Structure 1
Amino acid sequence: MDEQSIQLISDSRPSLPMRPGSCEKIDYEYVREGMCNAFMFVEPLGGWREVHVSTTKKAIDWAGYVQWLVDHPRYKNAKRITLVCDNLNTHWAGSLYAAFAADEAFRILNRIELR
């Protein structure tokens, strides 16, 4: 699992179309339209990936997507899910307890192994 902040941009003016003997002309100036965050789950050997986009990148967002993963039908028979994450300060058990009641956080933690 990983996440990435993405800058949203739009063109400041339309491009000039292609003409015979000339390629399309694109102005590289852009208008900043804000930010979003992409959470990606990847299982390379299983040939599976899933991307979710959110407007924020907070501990409770991470916890919500981990809950989604644990409850996903793909892993309904899995006894343990190894979740490989970077060392961002939101990737820890405390984020689950901040987002959910203690019994739900405990249920999720019993299904995953954080690495």
Structure 2
Amino acid sequence: MRKGWYPVLLIAWLLSACGNDANQPTSTAQGGDPKRGRGIYLSACVACHNSDPSKEGPIGPAIKGSPKELIEARVLRASYPPGYTPKRNTHIMPAQPYLKDALPDLAAFLNEGGKKGAG
């Protein structure tokens, strides 16, 4: 009879671990997850920007610390927010509207750590 309780206790223990908030993604005040944002950045941005967003890339500028409005305008519309003066006068970056749902995560990644850059 003692062995019959082990599977029940094991299942109860596993189910209790499912509700643990420690396994939840880290989010910022912007509501984004910097870890997911890093993955998005590495898959969608490093062809032109440096793998370290605080450094200049082969084509794109350093973008660490870019404001959410700039990230949204550049990624979704390949434009700049009203009144923004770009660091580079190029129009190479294409719009990437498929990243719309990933913008909070991308912004969270680019704005963690306090280093400032530009877009």
Assess same fold via TM > 0.5. no
Higher strand share: 1
Higher helix share: 2
Shorter-chain TM-score category? under 0.3
